[in-house]
Amino acid sequence: MKPEALLHPTPAGLFCPIGNFYVDPVRPVERALITHGHSDHARSGHGHVLATRQTLDIMAIRYGEEFAGSEQAAAWGEEIFVNGVKVMFRPAGHVLGSAQILIEKDGMRIVVSGDYKRGIDPTCDPFEPIACDVFITEATFGLPVFHHPDPKTEIEKLFTSLKQFPERSHLVGAYALGKAQRVIRLIRDNGYSDPIYIHGALARLCDYYQGQGIELGDIRPATIEKSKPTEFAGAIVVGPPSAFQDRWARRFNEPLIAFASGWMMVRQRAKQGGVELPLVVSDHCDWPELLSTIKEITPEQVWVTHGREEALVRWCELQGIPARPLHLVGYEDEGD
C-alpha cells in the first residue's frame, strides 16, 4: 500500500479514506482524531472525537461540554480500530494529554506526531519514539537558528531580573494551555513559594492541571485581589501575552514584560513584541531535536506539516531521506 492511500492532506486536514477520519481537522468533520488540546488542533463541532481523556477534558473546558456530537477516550497504547484501520495513541511530550497517533493498515505504519518536544517537562508524559514507515513531523522551529536552552537557566533569568528590579511587577507571557502551567511549575521548582498571580484566562486550565496531580502551588487571580499597582511590586504575574498589550496590564507596578516562548530565541521577535525579558522556553522541538528524532526513528519517509517546512525538507534531502512538505494550513494559531 502506498502511504498516500492510507493518509493524505486535504483542505480540512489529514484524511484517512479507509478509516473515514481526519486527524486534527481545521473544519468540522464527521469523525476526528485529535492529538492535543491547542485550539489550532482541537476545534469544536465535530461529529465524533477520539482523543486522550485529558485532551477531551481540555476541549470540554475550552469549548463547553457540547464540543462534539460524541467522544471516545483513548488510553496510552490501546489498539483501537476505526473502520478497520488500527490507531494507537502514544505520548508526544507537548502539553498535558498530548499524543502522537499511529495509523496502521496492511503493514503500512504512519505516525502523526502532532506537536511534540523531547526535553524534560514535569507537566506531561514524555515523547515515545514509534517505529514507522512515514513519520509526519511538525516543524514549528524547523530552522537551524532554533535551539532551546535548558529551561532551568531561562527561569533563572526571571529571578535575576527580580533581584535587579524588585519594585517592578514581572508579567510573564505564556500561552494558556501547557506553557503557563509549565512556567509556573518551573518557577516552583526553582524554590519560589510566594503566590503567583494569574490572568483569568488561565484559571480553569490551571485548576485542571492541579486536579491531574501537577502541583502549581499558591496561585491567585490577578484581577480582584489587589487594588493598587504598588501592591503588585515585585510580584510574578502569568498571563496570555495578548493581555499585556491591553488595558488589563495597567493595574501593575511598572510592569516588566517577559515572554516564555521558543520564538524568543530571535531578538527581533522579542523587540517587536515589546518584550524586555525573553525566556526561551518551548513546548516544541528545536532544530537539533527534530534532526535527532528523525535519525532515531529512521522512517522510510518524512512528511513535514506546519512551520518551517522547507528547511527541514532540505535537511532530509541532504541526508538522503525522502521528504515532502504537506502545506497544511490553519495551524500555528496558538503557537508556542
Partner 1 sequence: MKPFATLLDRLVLTPSRNGKLTLLVDYFRTTPDPDRGYGLAALAGALDLKSVKPAMLRELVMERMDEVLFRYSYDYVGDLAETISLVWDGGAKDVADHAPQPRLSEVVKRMNSLGRTEVRGAVRDLLDQLDTSGRFAFLKLATGSLRIGVSARLAKQALADMSGKDIIEIETLWHGLTPPYESLFAWLEGRAEKPVLATPAIFHSVMLANPVEDGDLEKLNPEDYAAEWKWDGIRVQMSSHGGTRKLYSRSGDDITGAFPDVVEAINFDGVIDGELLVGGTKRTNAPTRTFSDLQQRLNRKTVTGKMMDDYPAFVRAYDLLFQGEADVRSEGFLARRDRLAQVIEKAPHDRFDLSDLVPFTDWSELDRLRADPPDPVIEGVMIKRKDSPYQAGRLKGPWFKWKRDPYNIDAVMLYAQRGHGKRSSYYSDFTFGVWTTTEEGEQLVPVGKAYFGFTDAELEVLDKFVRDNTIDRFGPVRAVKATPDFGFVLEVAFEGIARSTRHKSGVAMRFPRIARLRQDKLPRDADRLETLTAMIETREGTL
- Interface residues with partner 1 (CB under 8 A) are 143-147, 149-150, 153, 164-165, 244-247, 249-250, 254-257, 265-268, 270-272, 274-278, 287-288, 308, 310-311, 314-315, 318
**Distances from the Cα of 335 to the Cαs of 112, 142, 148, in angstroms?**
18, 14, 15
CB of 278 to partner 1, least distance (A): 7
CB of 288 to partner 1, least distance (A): 5
Measured CA to CA, the distance from residue 95 to residue 10 in angstroms comes to 26
CB of 305 to partner 1, least distance (A): 17
- Choose between 31 and 168: whose C-beta lies nearer to partner 1: 168
- Choose between 3 and 278: whose C-beta lies nearer to partner 1: 278
Contact status, residue 331 vs residue 305, Cβ threshold 8 Å: yes
- Choose between 232 and 244: whose C-beta lies nearer to partner 1: 244
**Residue 162: φ, ψ to 5°:** -65, -35
- Choose between 79 and 189: whose C-beta lies nearer to partner 1: 189
What is the tally of helices (H) and strands (E) in the chain?
9, 19
Contact status, residue 219 vs residue 187, Cβ threshold 8 Å: no
CB of 166 to partner 1, least distance (A): 10
Measured CA to CA, the distance from residue 222 to residue 199 in angstroms comes to 6
CB of 328 to partner 1, least distance (A): 19
**Amino acid letter for position 3:** P
Contact status, residue 115 vs residue 36, Cβ threshold 8 Å: yes
Contact status, residue 237 vs residue 221, Cβ threshold 8 Å: no
Measured CA to CA, the distance from residue 248 to residue 197 in angstroms comes to 13
- Choose between 298 and 319: whose C-beta lies nearer to partner 1: 319
Measured CA to CA, the distance from residue 236 to residue 128 in angstroms comes to 34
- Choose between 152 and 204: whose C-beta lies nearer to partner 1: 152
- Choose between 2 and 228: whose C-beta lies nearer to partner 1: 228
Measured CA to CA, the distance from residue 128 to residue 88 in angstroms comes to 12
Burial 288-316 (b: 16+ CB within 10 A, else e): ebbbebbeebebebbbbbbbbbebbbebb
CB of 152 to partner 1, least distance (A): 9
- Choose between 112 and 264: whose C-beta lies nearer to partner 1: 264
CB of 182 to partner 1, least distance (A): 19
Measured CA to CA, the distance from residue 302 to residue 324 in angstroms comes to 7
CB of 115 to partner 1, least distance (A): 20
**Amino acid letter for position 19:** G
Contact status, residue 182 vs residue 148, Cβ threshold 8 Å: no
Please give the DSSP secondary-structure letter assigned to residue 274: T
CB of 145 to partner 1, least distance (A): 4
C-alpha cell at 273: 513584541
- Choose between 207 and 310: whose C-beta lies nearer to partner 1: 310
